[in-house]
Amino acid sequence: MEKDESLAYPMSRECPFDPPPQYGELRRDAPFKKVRLWDGSQPWLLTRHKDVKEVLSQSNFSAEPLREGYPHIFEGRMAADKADQSFIRLDAPEHGRLRRMVVREFTVKNVERERPHIQEIVDRLIDNMLAGPQPVEFVEEFARPLPTEVIAYLLGVPYEDHEIFHRATRVQFGSTSTPEEVGASLKELLAYLDDLISKKETDPQDDILSRLVTEQLVPGHLDRSAMVDITRLLLSAGHQTSINMTALSVLTLLQNPGELAKIESNPELIRGAVQELLRYSSVIQAGVRRVAREDAEVNGHLVKKGEGVICALPSANRDEDIFADPDRFDVTRNASVHLAFGYGIHQCLGQILARIELEIAITTLFARIPGLRLAVPFDELRFREDMFVYGVYELPLTWNKPNLPSMNQEG
């Protein structure tokens, strides 16, 4: 097939808040289209909501990166994917067996119990922001520590070790990381997690990892390498996407003051607003990837055995057939059918936790900090276009200072 430079993948954005403009053209004219990756391979790119849902719900498509034909978006990321044997990278039935070991930890009932703790973390981070100098670097002071502290607490990972897994995700999710850099990062992270699991074996606590060790690892239902892989998955997935989604959500609301005003005047809108933020931003910008285990038909299109597929979630979440005026941010929209967390058996395990974190963070931030706004011109912001997970690198914010009484005022 003749190479088409215009369809090299990934594609570039023109607007920081919108996916690449080619997606709209492809949804209209070529919803199944071969694209060219860095290694010359040519998987199918799927851009329509209904096609993405169909692929992610079919057992004919494999999530296993070691299979021939699986599309690897970046060379460095290929090394990370192939080293990952957590259940998110496995097919049924092994995927289901391992996922069931942890799914109960992330039920609505269990996660809702954590609301007071999440609220306490949010309030403390805001207290620290208010007590310090302005402007504040929001990613560093709030968006990064919030989900990191939450998932570390739930898993039983010492928060003071957070730089180890922050460093790991920066390398392993970067588009320019070399296989050697990813390999060294993996070695450091896996050694840390293996040591942590050993500590849970000798001194289990009331946390997710301790329960996995005592209920699954020790009885032999789970081998050690699988335990390490699950720990790595829960730790990385539990903070990396939420960091970027939190910062990008705050920026989106600041850039859409009319929509923010709707939430402030009617707090009951927050749950729907979070769904709309997830739809609108779709931070997994490199797509969800699969490879056909056998010939498969997807809404009348044949995907042959061994052909790779990239499900473009940002495009599916802007599909005109599903969402009216999809490029408009609207906190009153019913966006609940978005695919930001994927679809099917591999749908994100921590989505309830992620939504609750966003609800509490957004509600509390704008209630407690009047006049919250950008401290630099919008054009100076650096967006994470070179990363697997989209967002902003830094977000300098400032706000209205409280009116202090005059020193000459009596009383």
User: Residue 400: inside a domain, yes or no?
Assistant: no
- The region that residue 282 occupies, defined by phi over 0 for left and psi between -120 and 50 for alpha, beta otherwise, is left
**C-beta neighbour count of 163 within 10 angstroms:** 9
What pLDDT is recorded for position 270?
A: 98
User: Residue 335: inside a domain, yes or no?
Assistant: yes
What pLDDT is recorded for position 365?
A: 98
Residue 257: closest CA among 366, 122, 396, 394 = 366
User: Residue 405: inside a domain, yes or no?
Assistant: no
* Residue ranges making up the domain that contains 381: 5-391
Q: DSSP string covering 103-170, please? A: HGGGSHHHHHTTHHHHHHHHHHHHHHHHHS-SSEEHIIIIITHHHHHHHHHHHT--GGGHHHHHHHHH
User: Residue 204: inside a domain, yes or no?
Assistant: yes
Tokens coding 341: 């967390």
Distance separating alpha carbons of residues 395 and 406, to the nearest angstrom:
33
What pLDDT is recorded for position 303?
A: 97
Number of domains in the chain: 1
User: Residue 404: inside a domain, yes or no?
Assistant: no
Asked whether 25 and 320 are in contact (CB, 8 A), the reply is no
Asked whether 222 and 82 are in contact (CB, 8 A), the reply is no
User: Residue 248: inside a domain, yes or no?
Assistant: yes
Q: What is the CATH number of the domain that holds 180?
A: 1.10.630.10
User: Residue 222: inside a domain, yes or no?
Assistant: yes
How many DSSP H helices and E strands does the chain contain? 17, 10
What phi and psi values does residue 307 have, to the nearest 5 degrees?
-85, 135
Tokens coding 397: 């914010």
Beta bridge partners of 303: 296
**pLDDT 10s per residue in the chain (411 long)?**
344 455 999 999 999 999 999 999 999 999 999 999 999 999 999 999 999 999 999 999 999 999 999 999 888 777 777 777 788 899 999 999 999 999 999 999 999 999 999 999 999 999 999 999 999 999 999 999 999 999 999 999 998 888 887 787 777 666 677 878 878 888 888 899 999 999 999 999 999 999 999 999 999 999 999 999 999 889 887 678 899 999 999 999 999 999 999 999 999 999 999 999 999 999 998 889 999 999 999 999 999 999 999 999 999 999 999 999 999 999 999 999 999 999 999 999 999 999 999 999 999 999 999 999 999 999 999 999 887 889 999 999 999 876 433 333 333
User: Residue 402: inside a domain, yes or no?
Assistant: no
Residue 80: closest CA among 404, 400, 389, 402 = 389
